[in-house]
Chains A and B, each alone.
Chain A
Amino acid sequence: MIKLENVTKTYNKSVRAVDDISFSVKGGEIVGFIGPNGSGKTTTMKMITGIIKADVGKITVNGFNVRRDPIKAKESIGYIADNPDMFLRLKGNEFLDLIGDIYHVPTKKRREKIEEFASRFELTDALSSSMMNYSHGMRQKIMIVAALMHNPPVWILDEPMVGLDPKSAFELKQMMREHAKAGNSVFFSTHVLEVAEKLCDKVIIIKKGKLLFDGTLEALEAKSKSESLEEIFLELTEK
């Protein structure tokens, strides 16, 4: 579903944010993307979504090349950015309506999805308010609802748990499991290693733009003598 082949991104001709990385996320998989701050996680995710252009390499999403077929690739993605402060002058339902229109979600399906998600995230009372009045967590929830409303085959979530209350975080993890179970791909970045440990089929570890590890948690544990994921992560990234 997501495939990166020898992708590189350099800023200002000198800073290699992403350095010749290749990996894939198959249908039915939940993949955690882990790395220290500034390791290139967000840059990689932005290249997959078409926000940033890769200097070298090829990226395909759901079979569509993001450079040659950008609109088809984008239609296949549900993306949650790391900052939920978006279009705060709009009301919650106006924002969801905009996203529904852009992704061609029919009215009936839109109402069903929003009703379901809003109820799971306890957002139902807030939809008619300006997002300016939302808390950070509520803004994050509305971004999640917007990104997932069109039921895209590929979810790309940049630190989606930040700002969520425990119940909403639980609901999101459930939804990620349900989505993968239906044969779709979920690719998300996180700093919370316990989440990756409990949720992921495999993890990808990145540091200074270079891929350090790509495989299952079992394979990662087998590579190291350390016991916890936290220790293995530190061992790998602080070398």
Chain B
Amino acid sequence: MSIYLKLVKALIASVEPSKQEKKYNRIFYMVMGFIAVFGIMLPMAFFVGVIIYSLTSELLKVGSGQNAVELFLQLVSVFSFVFGLNVIFNVFYFSGDVENLLPLPLKPYQIIGSKFTAALISESIMEFIIIIAVFAGYIIASGLPFYAWIIAVFGMFTLPVVPLAYCAVICMLIILMTSFIKNKDTVNKITGFLTFAVIIGIAYFVSQTGGFDTEHFVSALSDPSNALISTMNMIFPQIHFLVSSMVNNTVINLLYYIGINGASIAAFMLIAQAVYFRTAASVNGGTGAKKRSVKKDLDSLRFHRPTVSYLKKEFRILFRTPAYFMNCVLINLIWPVFLYLLYVLQGQTNFLDSFIYGIHSGNEEMVLLFVLGVSAVSVLVTAANSIASSAITREGKHFAFMKYIPLPYMTQLNIKALISIIVSGTGMIIYVVAASVYLNIGLKLMLLCCLVSLLSVMFASYFGIFMDSVNPKLVWDNELNALRGNYNIFFNMALAILLEGATCAGAYFAFRYTDIGSIMIIIVLLILLMLLTTISYLLCCYKATENIDKLAV
């Protein structure tokens, strides 16, 4: 047990952000942490709690009080599974510590058990907050006694176990099945695409169930024949037992819950014991160097401008490194799937249909909402893909390269921002054009939306670079750890969302509560976005370059 605990401690320490030594950085991080916790995490948790409270209050009247809480917990488990797949693949097989752990006299279950626990703790903090908020809404609405809170706290820490156990089993079986592929990167990319396929599969499944009629949400939830709920109950049966143990105060339900969790852990531990050493060795086997004639290699060398060459280097590393490709590039393809899910789940309320109709009929408010939506999504996507906010962090051990080459820091930062603008901007422009064609909004509005999107992406890109320059996480043992446990990415997202949210909210309220027309509001929005982009650019010019210059490595 002591080895297991020491391993867990060491593994968690390897993904923790470095401690802030400079007073300025400590204050900056405290302020950012305060904004993130009180400005985003707690309001989000409160919002979820209120939804559960309202739904449970309604459902109690028809005798199905626990259905809402169960469905939400099942959805949280689905998210945990989807986002856990990539993490578990990397933690089990592709992290730098695997090569150090394999030669030690450790048993497979000790390695896998500690890696699983470390991943569970470091990946589930936001999930813990959401789970306890769901329970809080349910317990308050149902008026359950004190013991329900104890079960809720127990559930908060243990609910992510089953979805992550599913990830662990799937991960080991896939590596076992692909063990004939010797190239580690190919396997890593296959697993990433598999994650993507699973997300598409879930979206397809949800679309087939017909979703919910939001006007009759309560009756849909209390309907035992709902395909979505019954399927979820089969996949995550432990949730029903946990919630039942709170309602009925029965030990037997709690024992079932513990039993299912225990069985899921035992299942992946048994598989680990049987296949882990074999599969880990096959993944870490490496490949031999390819041989080609030197003349061909020399002919391929061409003089380019240093900036072009640096840009090519950045692109190659971003697209060839599986962890960056999955988390920074592929994510740009995933978010429209969630938008599609929203469209499918609207049921008969047809909010989106009325929105589309509003745009077609030239409703100024709907047109303005569409433009503001384009801007908000552009900022959110650029911040979430973290291409900019991890641009310096991704240099890692070879950050010194940025400093000793004869290329000004600002030139290098401009290229890094350009990568983010190209990747995020291209995706956004394609989606904006596709949405514009689908909504038939006309060429002028489409071009305007493209401009708004591009400016929003530029603002978020330069802002992300500046945020990363404050204290880049340069010590990491594998590329995924450059992105995991990286406060810069989270804080950048929080601040960018707040700035963009304030801009969009200001624009919308100005339209609603003043006589200013939508055209004028959009012009002001464009000026504001230009201003934000210019400020972010100047922050990079003066502050980020100074930060890089001061950074001792």
Contacts and interface: CB of A to CB of B under 8 A. Distances in A.
Say which size band chain A's interface belongs to: 35 or more
A61 to B, nearest CB: 11
B398 A87 contact: yes
A173 interface: no
B406 A93 contact: no
A148 interface: no
B99 interface: no
Contacts of A90: 313, 316-317
Interface string B295-310: 0111011111110111
Given A98-B313, A102-B405, A124-B294, A46 B301 contact: no
A174 B5 CA distance: 53
Nearest to A9: B552
A50 B321 contact: no
Interface in A89-105: 89-90, 92-94, 96-98, 100-105
B405 A101 contact: no
B408 A71 contact: yes
B552 A11 contact: yes
Interface stretch (B284-292, B341-349, B520-528): B284-292
Contacts of B291: 125-126, 128-129
Contacts of A60: none
Nearest to A47: B552
A224 interface: no
A6 interface: no
Nearest to A46: B400
B401 A114 contact: no
Interface string A65-109: 000001110110101010101110110111011101111111100
Given A51-B403, A90-B317, A101-B309, A114 B301 contact: yes
A184 B301 CA distance: 27
B234 interface: no
A191 interface: no
B407 interface: yes
B406 A125 contact: no
Contact of A125 (B289, B308, B552): B289
A190 interface: no
A118 interface: yes
A132 B553 CA distance: 23
Contacts of A97: 300-302, 304, 309
A102 B310 CA distance: 8
Interface in A156-197: none
9 contacts: A51-B403, A74-B406, A75-B406, A83-B397, A92-B297, A101-B305, A102-B406, A115-B298, A133-B288
Interface of A: 11-12, 46, 49-53, 70-72, 74-75, 77, 79, 81, 83, 85-87, 89-90, 92-94, 96-98, 100-107, 110-111, 114-115, 118, 124-129, 132-134, 138
Given A86-B401, A102-B407, A138-B289, 20 more contacts: A51-B400, A52-B552, A70-B406, A74-B404, A74-B406, A81-B400, A90-B313, A93-B300, A94-B313, A96-B301, A97-B300, A102-B309, A105-B303, A106-B303, A107-B302, A107-B303, A115-B294, A124-B294, A133-B288, A133-B289
Q: What are the 7 closest A-B residue pairs judged by CB atoms, nearest first?
A: A101-B309, A129-B289, A74-B406, A124-B294, A127-B297, A128-B292, A89-B320
